[in-house]
Structure 1
């Protein structure tokens, strides 16, 4: 990158203008939200899914719900059909000066067959992604980096990209970015160590222009929690390819470890305790079908936790004294099972509970095991899936622990997150899923219940993104302080995640 271009971007920042972010594969905006809170300006976004793109536009572009849901309006864009100059045309400035930071998580499906030579081709052939449609999405991401020349790049993906068919994709990404003029590092981070009430392990890759001369660091944990064995095993599997790279992989950094003296991780109960109870389904008044609440529901008459207070008062996304989207699935067969399950119980335990309940009812009715009534009753009580094949299909949350990873599969069913309160006997609501993912109560999702669940499960937790945004901001603040331009005081600038729990204004 030309030194003059770097200086131009730093001069603009030093003059008090926010750093401009382009969010690729933006989803509904989890990563955008974290950067927004850190004082960045979300200048542009690209998202293929129509409803997720509408959610992003609703929350970050100032559009009304009516505007983003109008039949004639479509905010979705295909990155393979949208050139960088088109994506930032509305900023009305030279292409290479338009964006300071690019963030995003290219879908991992594109990584399986991307080879080293293909990744390097982007340097000399901006349209190289056209040659290999299986790798279009990732090569398009690199195309944007090359065209827009950001000061910083952040990539997020699942841990498996470190050992994807024997190939370490994160290493390959770093090699490519290094050739494009960036210092680059990657690591594995679990969001539970950063104030998110959820155990969510992800790969994060951070790159800064070499001319900035900044040592890349990842944010220090703010909360302590010992991960279950399953998460440790997943991490070991993901890191397996690193053994082959041994000392040659200078791009990998060890995962930042939490200090035992840090505050404990935020629990599911702390995240959800001030949300209203849901019991209509137990009274038979909840029907199947797509649904959303367009009217707000008052909070429960309970004092929120520190985390709950943050969710209510996130700067720029404050609630208006109520919540939306507190809706659940209709699962009448399973309410009695949910009630009887113990915290931490999974599908095999759920089936055992169902069998016990069924046999007790069959005995009460004096049904013969050979009768049709007996068999029909069993269908009314016992889920049909083989416990040996679907051991993790169900899970009842523990109130005193963070939740397990929320997945996009929430859009199909939410058995993976059964509410810890057996008296409510249900799976979590859309708003509860948002809380567990650290979306504030003033953030709204476009679409009905299932698409909203999917958007939440696909997102980067905003608090995790906020920690990473603060790290990038600190590096650029340091450069700006040493540049010929004196950085103007910005009352919004704060460091560390302590600000996330203070309720002080921080948005753009």
Structure 2
């Protein structure tokens, strides 16, 4: 072994080969398994299973994993060792592989399909391009077979379980206006499933780390998702790993072993007690980590839990300052020492590359495989196939089992689990249908310019967007828009007419911003519509409104729209996570499909004209019959609202 520029000997850890679980099976023996070990059990399938974090969670909640599928060979080996049933290496992006899986499962009665498909955020630009290819270049509108979230949804349709659980990172929704999530919800509801989407702090369910996850649940037996009460106090890092044996740390020397003696402390935390269930007595596995460089050893020594990487120059002396090998400007959080009394930083797959985000609170090293597994809530009996890096990667990619358990509990059968269900008429589908009908009526009347139409005109959308920040009375705005209703381009005469019709000086100055596209008919053509915001120097909020009014499927996240969504869902309008959780509440109202932009426009109108912060006009609101916050209305106003609604 040589040190090279790494400062420690370059080595691979030993390869841990795991034997299959005694109750695992092969595809050829699956039918026998169903009639044997699987008989009478509530069965689940885990798609994109990884090492099995979600499988472990649903099993804790009462299911038995009949089959799990992943493309990572090491993860499949891990799953096969720790779970019964089938553990299959498959590429579900390939329709032929989905056919094969469907054939294997055809004799199984699957109650739950779970999984965490890798979901690439679907950008607005990407959606615009696909829409154009479909409309103008013969692109197959269903040509999304290689998108893994679509593959996941396809398998749900083929298996037709009673319940569905999907887990992913919040960025899956926040980066693309929840387009993927809204699409999945819409399609599940068409199949008769009630759905729920929520952002969950994993620590609320016993996971000792900062980890916010997006959970989608669906079921077709009842329209109810009863989550258990969140934990009142977090599980700290000391609770999670404080009982594990201390390791000797000598710079450049090996740290930890595959097997070490374990001595149970007198005051073992409730969390650690849970993690030790079924683990070998007096033994702990995989308590090992990377060797520590001499310079890192010194850095770990001078760090506190609140020390930033950029602070190290003040803590190092003399020649030690060269120990800070990375640019402090580029890598402001390159190192993170964890704190005993707090939650861990989120465990991610990056831990397989280096452990600098996960420095032990006392010992001058990074977290071990077993410690990382504990923070992810894998029990000590759980082993990970492959090398140390393989194990770290599998752990970082996993769903924390305790989070999976909490989500799965909300899907437990109600009553007779064998009862066949024809599906539901989901509550939120009913709400969205009513909202779309109201919007169509308003669009056919005086609000034609406030809502996207069947044949939107970029000029109309641009005028509304440019004037959206001006305080113009509705009557004056209606009169101004009447003057452009029959026009698709901005002539000099029409521009002058708009300027003259502007009711205030601020409104006039906004109209003046249309000047760059006067007498430029080519720039107002439908094919150039996406260039208009840049040519008119629209602000972000103006551009979003413009795009909505030309029919783009996006979410307008503002004070008014979030207020509507919060009130309908019965939550405080000013809670700390109103931007992230507020978006999830908005998703329920917007939905997906061709009417999604229309519903989004309707929510904007309701937030502006009806659902005001003070003195809301509930009697005219189309959502009042479904509004959880209506209990706060006066009896007279509520009676009037429901009667007219």
User: Which of 97, 100, 118 is residue 86 of structure 1 equivalent to?
Assistant: 100
- Superposition pairs of residues 27-46 of structure 1, within 5 angstroms: 27-46=50-69
The CA distance in 1 between the partners of 2:130 and 2:66, in whole Å, is 30
Q: CA deviation at 1:197?
A: 0.8
User: Which of 105, 108, 113 is residue 102 of structure 1 equivalent to?
Assistant: 113
User: Which of 211, 224, 227 is residue 215 of structure 1 equivalent to?
Assistant: 224
Look up the match of 2:212: 201
Q: CA deviation at 1:302?
A: 5.5
Look up the match of 1:496: none
- Superposition pairs of residues 54-133 of structure 1, within 5 angstroms: 54-61=77-84, 75-81=88-94, 83-84=97-98, 86-87=100-101, 89=103, 93-94=106-107, 98-109=109-120, 111-112=122-123, 131-132=143-144
CA contact (8 A) 1:111 1:138 kept: no
Change in Cα spacing, 1:461 to 1:416, as seen in structure 2 (3 Å) is: same
CA contact (8 A) 2:67 2:88 kept: no
- The SS at the match of 1:185 is strand
Cα RMSD between the aligned structures?
3.1
- The SS at the match of 2:89 is coil
Change in Cα spacing, 1:480 to 1:46, as seen in structure 2 (3 Å) is: closer
Look up the match of 2:411: 472
Tell which has more relative contact order, 1 or 2 (C-alpha 8 A, sep 6+).
Answer: 1
The CA distance in 1 between the partners of 2:298 and 2:399, in whole Å, is 33
CA contact (8 A) 2:275 2:378 kept: yes
Which runs of no fewer than 5 residues in structure 2 stay unpaired? 1-34, 132-139, 422-645
Change in Cα spacing, 1:118 to 1:51, as seen in structure 2 (3 Å) is: farther
Look up the match of 1:237: none
Change in Cα spacing, 1:296 to 1:103, as seen in structure 2 (3 Å) is: same
- Superposition pairs of residues 302-451 of structure 1, within 5 angstroms: 303-313=267-277, 317-332=278-293, 333-349=295-311, 351-352=312-313, 356-359=315-318, 362=319, 378-379=321-322, 381-382=323-324, 384-421=325-362, 424-451=363-390
- The SS at the match of 1:327 is strand
CA contact (8 A) 1:187 1:204 kept: yes
The CA distance in 1 between the partners of 2:113 and 2:82, in whole Å, is 19
Change in Cα spacing, 1:33 to 1:312, as seen in structure 2 (3 Å) is: same
Look up the match of 1:228: none
- The SS at the match of 2:44 is strand
The CA distance in 2 between the partners of 1:309 and 1:457, in whole Å, is 23
The CA distance in 2 between the partners of 1:213 and 1:37, in whole Å, is 22
The CA distance in 1 between the partners of 2:408 and 2:225, in whole Å, is 13
The CA distance in 2 between the partners of 1:62 and 1:41, in whole Å, is 8
Q: CA deviation at 1:198?
A: 0.9
Change in Cα spacing, 1:304 to 1:196, as seen in structure 2 (3 Å) is: same
The CA distance in 1 between the partners of 2:416 and 2:65, in whole Å, is 21
- The SS at the match of 2:68 is strand
User: Which of 175, 178, 182 is residue 164 of structure 1 equivalent to?
Assistant: 175
Look up the match of 1:298: 262
- The SS at the match of 1:145 is helix
Q: CA deviation at 1:339?
A: 1.7
CA contact (8 A) 2:144 2:150 kept: no
The CA distance in 1 between the partners of 2:262 and 2:178, in whole Å, is 50
The CA distance in 2 between the partners of 1:99 and 1:116, in whole Å, is 37
Structure 1 residue 188 and structure 2 residue 199: aligned?
yes
CA contact (8 A) 1:320 1:442 kept: no
The CA distance in 2 between the partners of 1:62 and 1:149, in whole Å, is 19
Q: CA deviation at 1:140?
A: 1.0
Change in Cα spacing, 1:38 to 1:395, as seen in structure 2 (3 Å) is: same
TM-score w.r.t. length of structure 1: 0.67
Query: Which structure has the greater CA radius of gyration?
Result: 2
Q: CA deviation at 1:28?
A: 0.2
The CA distance in 2 between the partners of 1:300 and 1:346, in whole Å, is 35
Cα deviation, 1:290-340, whole Å, max 9, x if unaligned, reads: xx9443442465542111110001xxx534431111111112221111122
Look up the match of 1:286: 254
